[in-house]
Amino acid sequence: MLKDYRILLAACVIAVGAMLLSIAKLVTPGYKAHQKAYAKLTGSTDFEIGVKQINVETKAGLLVDRCTTCHLGAANADAAAFDQPLRTHSEICPGLAEQPHDLNKIGCSICHEGNGRAIDETDAHGHFKHWLSPLLVGREAQASCAKCHYMGAGTLLGAETYLRGKELFVEKVCYACHTIRGLSDGKSAPELTDAGDKFTLAYLKESIVVPTANLATSTMPKFNWTQEADTIAALAIFLKGQRLNKLRDEASAPIGMLAAEQTFASVIEPSVAAGEALFKGAFSGHLQLRGGCINCHAVKNSEGLVQGGENGPELTYVGRARSAAYMASHIRNPKEDALDTIMPPFRHLSDTEIDSLVLYLQSLDYTLPRTPEPTAQALFSNYCMSCHGQNLDGNGSIAALLDPLPRDFTAYQFVASYKDRFVNSIREGVAGGAMAPWQNILTEEEIESLVTYIVSTTEDRQSRFVRMDVSLPKPGDPERHRFRDETRTLEAGDITSGQDAFQKFCASCHGMLANGKGPNAYALKHPLPRDLINKKFLNQSSVTDERLYRSILLGVAGTPMPSHDHLADQTILDIIAYLRSISRDTN
Ligand code: HEC
Ligand code: HEC
Ligand code: HEC
Ligand code: HEC
Ligand code: HEC
Ligand code: HEC
Ligand code: HEC
């Protein structure tokens, strides 16, 4: 009993205390103390205590700014020794004889955001939940220069961090996926022209560091430099500066260009050196967007030293695996070869630049030393692991960004015929995705040993494999009647019936459009449903009607692709006809 009484008493004391505190806050707003201190420090006798307000006329309407209610000394050169919030503003444009902005006229929130109307510190600084524009502190305020200044070209004194962010937007290849009008036209990601109107600085930083924070299925690469605080800050400040709602239009904007625009030394003749420069992001000048492949692709030099990102396959071997024409067309339009790739198209590169990139890729000559003879495991680690994973489970360091995903060998139930298929796939690659042909890099013996290695790690599963021997039925075949209807013989596949059947039995995983993105697709374990309109995949010679028939009837062992042995042979023939009709080039 006694204990309960004490708790009650303590609660009452706390409640009354809190009430008194909030009343005190209402009666004496914080700004009065600052104003009294300022009056005392400046020795002014006629200082009027009260809310100070600056009205700024802008294109978007009247902006009310009461920040100077507390920040009294910002425009007073004699207040340099005072404590905040009373101190003289630091130089916004260091080095200029006279600061160009009159803080008594434009106030503070125009650059620092926050909430200009508020006179309470927390509210004014915008530090409350869901406020879209919390205070931009120090150099973060550079995100606001573009509200008035035209930043399309040149250099603005005092906006160095913003301009560094702009360079980084190019250097780190953001431009290739994201559009910012007037700067880039990437089409594979949300437009960022008005990122500053829509997002807080914190959100922008988070989107760069953890792309999946707001969208679990984000295909935005996770970059390996995202621990560099300065880089992130500059990029985010630059993006925060992207606005559609400007305070001045371009014509009336003060230009403030203090340095001539740099220009890119254009490539005149294709060369390995120019290719290497482009690969590493040969960028200079604020309007020239060039290359930057190294943010996604690593390469090894002749000594085997690796350099580069992990958002795409290592390209050390691609110059030997692929033809020059393949590489050139892949750089211009990667979707032509890999429909669902995240690699952005580099259509703006000139022929000379593309040729240089190809020459550079062809110049890479590292091969795993052949003496002493490498083990299959060593071959696998060097050539295959980044995709197929250390444990052969298809979960290599770059796997998540690929579509189709690398094969998970641990899930496979192997039969003899898979060995041939695998040898063939390694030799010639699998069209329509990232699995390259290795015949020019690996010897036949090495390929054989890799397949043995892959298969041997899951040997125990082989015994569990049960499979009927099935073969593709031919229309009119007297031996193969319609399933559950012995009276009629099979006809050639019908596209329309095939489409209906596909919507009924297959669309949940493969999607209504057959692009592999059905509602159930992402709930599946590795690998995802195949994109069946991927022409390169479906039209390669190894994907015969026979194989399609077997895969549909029996499923694909070790993957979520289920068997459909409840379907009539006729239905499967119809579906195959449908798949051929949507995947074949019609022109
Ligand atoms: C009620 C008084 C008050 C008002 C109103 C106020 N501030 Fe402040 N401000 C302060 C104080 C006090 C500090 C110093 C805080 C500190 O040092 O922790 C400060 C600090 C700052 C800083 C530096 C922050 C930092 O972390 O270095 C900026 C920038 C700033 N204010 C901008 C503004 C802007 C913009 C407005 C108007 C939207 C505004 N303030 C309105 C009291 C105020
Ligand atoms: C033209 C844009 C602009 C305006 C207007 C502006 N600031 Fe700043 N402010 C900046 C920039 C940029 C910096 C960072 C300067 C630096 O890097 O030292 C800054 C820095 C600051 C700082 C922290 C740095 C320091 O030296 O203490 C405070 C506090 C601050 N501003 C307050 C204000 C207040 C209060 C007002 C309104 C009277 C105001 N600012 C108006 C751009 C602006
Ligand atoms: C509210 C609009 C506005 C904002 C925001 C603004 N400026 Fe200005 N700025 C001006 C105007 C107007 C002038 C021209 C002043 C004049 O003609 O004397 C100017 C002039 C300048 C100049 C001098 C240009 C020259 O050629 O002499 C520099 C440098 C500059 N601003 C830098 C900045 C930086 C850095 C920022 C962001 C931190 C910024 N400004 C934010 C309006 C703005
Ligand atoms: C391979 C293409 C690709 C590249 C390269 C890329 N992004 Fe993205 N980015 C995306 C996609 C797709 C999304 C949308 C999904 C999401 O929200 O993550 C996105 C989202 C964002 C968002 C959040 C936008 C919103 O609407 O929520 C920001 C900010 C962003 N990216 C910034 C960057 C920056 C900065 C870079 C360069 C360092 C970059 N991106 C490089 C594809 C890319
Ligand atoms: C945002 C990351 C990203 C950027 C930037 C990027 N790539 Fe890619 N690239 C990929 C991915 C992922 C793949 C694998 C899927 C595919 O084939 O498109 C790939 C595949 C390739 C391939 C085909 C490899 C093969 O064997 O099939 C080539 C060649 C290539 N990239 C060259 C380049 C060049 C050159 C650049 C710079 C101009 C570049 N990439 C920029 C992500 C990127
Ligand atoms: C750039 C990533 C990448 C690298 C490197 C890579 N693979 Fe693949 N691999 C894939 C992808 C993606 C698939 C799935 C292709 C598909 O099904 O469309 C695949 C599929 C396979 C398959 C199954 C093919 C089939 O017919 O089902 C085999 C076997 C294979 N890879 C072996 C290897 C070997 C051996 C190496 C090393 C010499 C290697 N891979 C290197 C990405 C890669
Ligand atoms: C439970 C989800 C699911 C359903 C339902 C499904 N599939 Fe699949 N399908 C998959 C997955 C996952 C793969 C990828 C397996 C792989 O990479 O080989 C796949 C692969 C395939 C392939 C490629 C096979 C090969 O040999 O490489 C074909 C063709 C295919 N599906 C057709 C169909 C058709 C037709 C239907 C309907 C009768 C269907 N699928 C129903 C999940 C599904």
**Measured from the CB, is residue 220 less than 6 Å from ligand 4?**
yes
- Positions of E strands within 301-453: 306-308
Peptide bond into 404 cis (omega under 30): yes
**pLDDT, tens digit, 9 for 90 and up, residues 211-268:** 887 777 777 777 778 888 999 999 999 999 998 877 766 555 444 433 333 344 566 7
Write out pLDDT tens, residues 514-572.
988 888 887 776 678 888 988 888 888 889 998 999 888 878 776 788 878 777 788 99
The pLDDT mean for the chain works out to: 83
> Number of C-alpha atoms within 13 angstroms, CB side, residue 411?
16
How close is the Cα of 405 to the center of ligand 6, in Å? 9
For ligand 3, is residue 163 a contact (CB within 6 Å)?
no
Which ligand 6 atom minimizes the distance to the CA of 421? 26
Residues with CB under 6 A from ligand 6: 313, 383-384, 386-388, 402, 404, 406-407, 421-422, 425-426, 430, 432-435, 438, 450, 537
Kindly state if the Cβ of 138 falls inside 6 Å of ligand 3: no
Residues paired with residue 65 on neighbouring β-strands, in sequence order:
54
Lowest-pLDDT choice from 95-99, 316-320, 443-447? 95-99
* Nearest ligand to residue 552 Cα: 7
pTM above 0.75, yes or no: no
Domains and CATH numbers, the chain: 35-135 (no CATH), 145-240 (1.10.760.10), 272-363 (1.10.760.10), 376-462 (1.10.760.10), 481-583 (1.10.760.10)
Q: Is residue 71 within 8 Å of residue 65, measured between CB atoms?
A: no
Percent with pLDDT over 90 in the chain:
40
The reported pLDDT for the residue numbered 457 is 67
Q: What is the pLDDT of residues 14-60, one digit of tens each?
A: 887 777 666 665 555 689 999 999 999 998 888 889 999 999 887 77
**CA–CA dist 381, 400 (Å, integer):** 18
Strand partners, 482: 485
How far apart are alpha carbons 329 and 437 in whole angstroms? 17
Question: Rounded to the nearest whole angstrom, what is the distance from the C-alpha of residue 485 to the centroid of ligand 4?
Answer: 55
Ligand at shortest distance from the CA of 421: 6
* Residue 467 pLDDT class (50, 70, 90 cuts): very low
Q: Whose C-alpha lies nearest to ligand 1, atom 19? A: 85
